[in-house]
Structure 1
Amino acid sequence: MSFSPCPDPVPGDAESVDAIETLIVPRAVDLGEMEVRRALPSTQRQMVGPFIFFDQMGPAEFLTDQGIDVRPHPHINLATVTYLFEGEIRHRDSLGSDIAINPGAVNWMMAGRGIVHSERTSEERRQTGQKLFGIQTWVALPENAEERDPDFIHHGATDLPIVTDHGVEARLIAGEWMGGASPLKTASETLYADVQLQAGRSVPIDPTYEERALYTIAGTIKIAGQSFGPNQLLVLRPGDAITVKAAEDARFMLFGGAPMGGPRYIWWNFVSSRAERIEQAKEEWRQGRFETVPGDEEDFIPLPENASKPRRATGGVAYP
């Protein structure tokens, strides 16, 4: 998805607890076709492990003849990960990929040296209408993988392991947790899981990964006796083992991994360890030198001409 303008998330007013390093409450922005909540990047926190962008899409309901139309746009030096709870998105890219993204599947688009993609509602779904709800994240790539060949990897819902334990159910999108391991091959150490807890049940989150965060989707969870409702990003303190308990049936995304070896610059849809690489990508898009999307060649998102300069991002601090 394209990095459209969105105000920085603002911190919540809940009192901090020892286990929580940073609490971010994303501000909802109406993009016309649906509501988006952006948790990363923010003024409070730029990255968690390799995750540099975290958007909640919806929930939204489209009537007949309605849908999303994210026109072809470019990415470099990152991977996008689209994960849906409800609905369907048609993904097409400059590699020739043309696939329906459905709930429970993982769709990992490795931009590498450059890729272009579009995300739209299919004609079939427009005829029937649909609900749409999901998460899209961007994962920064280590420097030795930033300029690799682009790729698109799809694992269906039945390909991803689901681990269960006394009222806990977790689908492993990336990485290893609770004895399960995702088949997705990532460029750096990455954890990403869709976790559901029955009311009254709890799950430990050990400090196996250096950086970890939770994004609450539904219900209320408790950590160290404090309650957190939906649509909150909780960055956990490194090295601390915590326990998450469900005050009611709850769902959250657990994500993180190893931090990048250095800062990343982010501008529009471009992420890179080098500011000059972003300037190069801007000029390539402006001059039409990226590959086009087969079947979607006639449309595109123009380069924003009045946007600010690339921001330098680290795990915790934003720099101009």
Structure 2
Amino acid sequence: MIEMIEKRRRSLGGGLEVGRVLPFARRRMVGPFIFFDHLGPLDLAAGVDRSVDVRPHPHIGLSTITYLFSGEVMHRDSLGSEQAIRPQEVNWMTAGSGITHSERFEKAHAMGDHLHGIQAWVALPDGDEETAPSFSHHEGGDLPQWDADGVRGQLIAGSAYGLTAAARTHSPLFYVHLELEPGAIAEIPAHCAERAIYIARGAIEIDGERHEAGRMLIPGPGISSFRATEPATAMVLGGEPVGERFLFWNFVSSSKARLAQAAEDWKAGRMKLPDADHDEFIPLPSADTAPPPMS
């Protein structure tokens, strides 16, 4: 049995759209993964209006994972971090008790850019939801790679395929980028209770059925692999559940009262803005159904 989720177009404002996959009405999470957005592919012309930037905004109770196939994004946060991310690199930000950050398309403003990537959030487990905020950038040897039998892989986070990535995780999980040649077969790690495959490009066959880009597949326990029917890019992810989590705007928590407190703190200006990007911010939405922006 395979559960399917189609990405839905969502506007982040300023003309920037994403394909939202998680959360979904019938599937809020996969393991600790509570949010999954597909950014692009999107061409931004040189001099594009700065309204496409993601202005400073807050988070609590989660880790954000930024991963690009192409393009460049500049991250700045309230800890003082300032870090550009480029293809096949990882920006890992743990919000914990609270952090604010911005993501600016500065390369696009200067010379144009082709943006394509994934934004994911991982809910922190009980006992770590209020951990101290932190930020780390990873590239090269921090992200183990392999190339065999028509599959090129890079481990983004956690442990899978006998490898472990460098970013600190707070619960068992894995997150992998695979590039597959036509006919190549990829294993789906089975060591975690919940698993998913997101097709970012091309098409794959699993359990005898063909699926194309823009779809997340959640396989049952008896399904252990999939095959590329054409050149394909797939994100394979999963982990152990962390329990029920509530989500309001950019905040994740096991407590609705904590979400309300975070919203009030942001509205009242009690959350520090990034030192290097403090002249504007995204206001608290008026409706509790407001979708979160790019992480």
Q: What band does the TM-score fall into relative to the shorter chain?
A: over 0.9
**Displacement after TM superposition at 1:169 (Å):** 1.1
Q: SS where residue 285 of structure 1 aligns?
A: helix
Q: SS where residue 248 of structure 1 aligns?
A: coil
Contact in 2 for aligned 1:206/1:241 (Cα 8 Å): no
- Distance (whole Å) between structure 2 residues aligned to residue 296 and residue 143 of structure 1: 32
Which of 221, 224, 240 is the matching residue for 2:204? 221
Equivalences for 1:159-198 in 2 at 5 Å?
Answer: 159-198=142-181
Residue aligning to 1:303: 284
Residue aligning to 2:20: 38
Does 2:30 correspond to 1:48? yes
Aligned length: 288
- Distance (whole Å) between structure 2 residues aligned to residue 204 and residue 171 of structure 1: 14
**Displacement after TM superposition at 1:177 (Å):** 1.9
Residue aligning to 1:106: 90
Q: Alpha carbons of 1:284 and 1:148: their partners in 2 closer, same or farther (altered >3 Å)?
A: same
Which of 232, 243, 250 is the matching residue for 2:232? 250
Q: SS where residue 43 of structure 1 aligns?
A: coil
Identity of aligned residues (%): 45
Q: SS where residue 235 of structure 2 aligns?
A: strand
- Distance (whole Å) between structure 2 residues aligned to residue 229 and residue 309 of structure 1: 29
Deviations 1:60-117 (A, max 9, x none): 1011111631110000011100000010000000000001011101111000000000
Which of 273, 280, 292 is the matching residue for 2:261? 280
- Distance (whole Å) between structure 2 residues aligned to residue 305 and residue 30 of structure 1: 17
Residue aligning to 1:318: none
Contact in 1 for aligned 2:61/2:251 (Cα 8 Å): yes
Does 2:65 correspond to 1:81? yes
**Amino acid corresponding to residue 281 of structure 2 in structure 1:** F
**Amino acid corresponding to residue 91 of structure 1 in structure 2:** H
Which of 24, 37, 47 is the matching residue for 2:5? 24
**Displacement after TM superposition at 1:280 (Å):** 0.6
Contact in 2 for aligned 1:145/1:187 (Cα 8 Å): yes
Which region of structure 1 is more displaced relative to structure 2, 47-56 or 216-225?
216-225
> What TM-score results when the alignment is normalised by the length of structure 2?
0.94
Residue aligning to 1:154: 137
Contact in 2 for aligned 1:103/1:157 (Cα 8 Å): no
Q: Alpha carbons of 1:189 and 1:219: their partners in 2 closer, same or farther (altered >3 Å)?
A: same
- Distance (whole Å) between structure 2 residues aligned to residue 62 and residue 272 of structure 1: 35
Gaps of 5+ in 2: none
C-alpha RMSD over aligned residues: 1.6
**Displacement after TM superposition at 1:153 (Å):** 1.0
Residue aligning to 1:289: 270
**Displacement after TM superposition at 1:30 (Å):** 4.5
Contact in 1 for aligned 2:44/2:108 (Cα 8 Å): no
Equivalences for 1:72-151 in 2 at 5 Å?
Answer: 72-122=56-106, 124-151=107-134
Deviations 1:37-57 (A, max 9, x none): 100001120000000000001
Contact in 2 for aligned 1:57/1:132 (Cα 8 Å): yes
**Amino acid corresponding to residue 235 of structure 1 in structure 2:** I
Gaps of 5+ in 1: 1-17, 311-320
Q: Alpha carbons of 1:309 and 1:72: their partners in 2 closer, same or farther (altered >3 Å)?
A: closer
Q: Alpha carbons of 1:113 and 1:298: their partners in 2 closer, same or farther (altered >3 Å)?
A: same
Residue aligning to 1:316: none
**Displacement after TM superposition at 1:159 (Å):** 2.8
Contact in 1 for aligned 2:76/2:82 (Cα 8 Å): yes
Q: SS where residue 175 of structure 1 aligns?
A: strand
- Distance (whole Å) between structure 2 residues aligned to residue 114 and residue 29 of structure 1: 25
Contact in 1 for aligned 2:97/2:130 (Cα 8 Å): yes
Equivalences for 1:254-269 in 2 at 5 Å?
Answer: 254-260=236-242, 262-269=243-250
**Displacement after TM superposition at 1:306 (Å):** 2.7
Contact in 1 for aligned 2:151/2:181 (Cα 8 Å): yes
